Amino acid sequence: MSLRKPTKALPNMAEADIAIVRIAPESSFKNKAYDALKEAILKMDIYSTPEPVMLDERALSERLGVSRTPIREAIAMLEQDGFVKTVPRRGIMVVRRTKSEIVDMIRAWAALESMAARLITTTARKKDITALRDYFKDFNKDRLPEDHVEEYSRANIAFHQALISLSESPVLVDLTNDLLLHVRGYRQLTIGRKDRTATSLPEHLGMIEALEARDTELAEKRARDHTLGLAAYVEAHGQELF
């Protein structure tokens, strides 16, 4: 917590000159394993095979070069997050979401983002709201989003995260980030599909306008309807994605 009390052996020594830098906390193996496994799970395409993807404690501990104990603790954490499910004497499987679960998550996301929009209209600085446009500055009628789907998808996600951050609500930020990981981690394709991008950009700009106008109700509505639109889209067209 506090640094060691400075020695007084040399009464006039320059105590502050050593420029101590606050030693690095060196994250534990447990947390390193958690991060590594989480990233690996989000990166893998678990829907490409019909059989559930299984993890093996011993194999993982060997791959990561640590014992099973920190691996097991990381697994327990991932299970709390809903990324894996361990079945005794059966194995650890990566959880596969159904379409309706994804739709459900997007709806919750819509709820949280619309609340973020509401809060932003009353607290955020105009400068910060306007800065949200920057995420789409590379797209216009000469450079359509639907012609750069991957790039637009990334901008899309960055925009939404920046928007939520403007609410200055840690809870909203954390909850939406978690949902986003589940929704997009498995299928990047879900967001930014070509036929969504056409309507996406104008809706985003509409949201920003409402925020700038400090129109609480309108901003909330536009944020909600935009994301609910995504939910409806997935519900209608997402069958083949899962």
Binding site for a copy of itself (CB under 8 A): 1, 25, 28, 30, 69, 72-74, 76-77, 79-81, 87-88, 90, 101, 104-105, 107-108, 110-112, 114-115, 119, 169-172, 175, 179, 224
Nearest to 225 by CA among 213, 214, 237, 217: 217
Partner from a copy of itself, DNA, none binding residue 55, C-beta < 5-8 Å depending on class: DNA
* Residue 66 sits in the site that holds DNA (CB under 7 A): yes
Q: Which C-beta is closer to DNA: that of 29 or that of 139? A: 29
Q: How far is the CB of 202 from a copy of itself (least distance, A)?
A: 23
Residue closer to DNA by CB (options 31, 161) is 31
Distances (CA, A) of 200 to 54, 66, 89, 214: 36, 45, 46, 21
Q: Which residue type sits at 8?
A: K
Site for DNA in 32-61 (CB under 7 A): 54-58, 61
Reference 220, options 146, 136, 110; nearest CA is 110
C-alpha–C-alpha distance, residues 239 and 152, integer Å = 23
CA–CA distance, 112 with 108 (Å, rounded to integer): 6
Binding site for DNA (CB under 7 A): 1, 4-5, 7-9, 28-30, 54-58, 61, 66-70, 72-73, 86-92
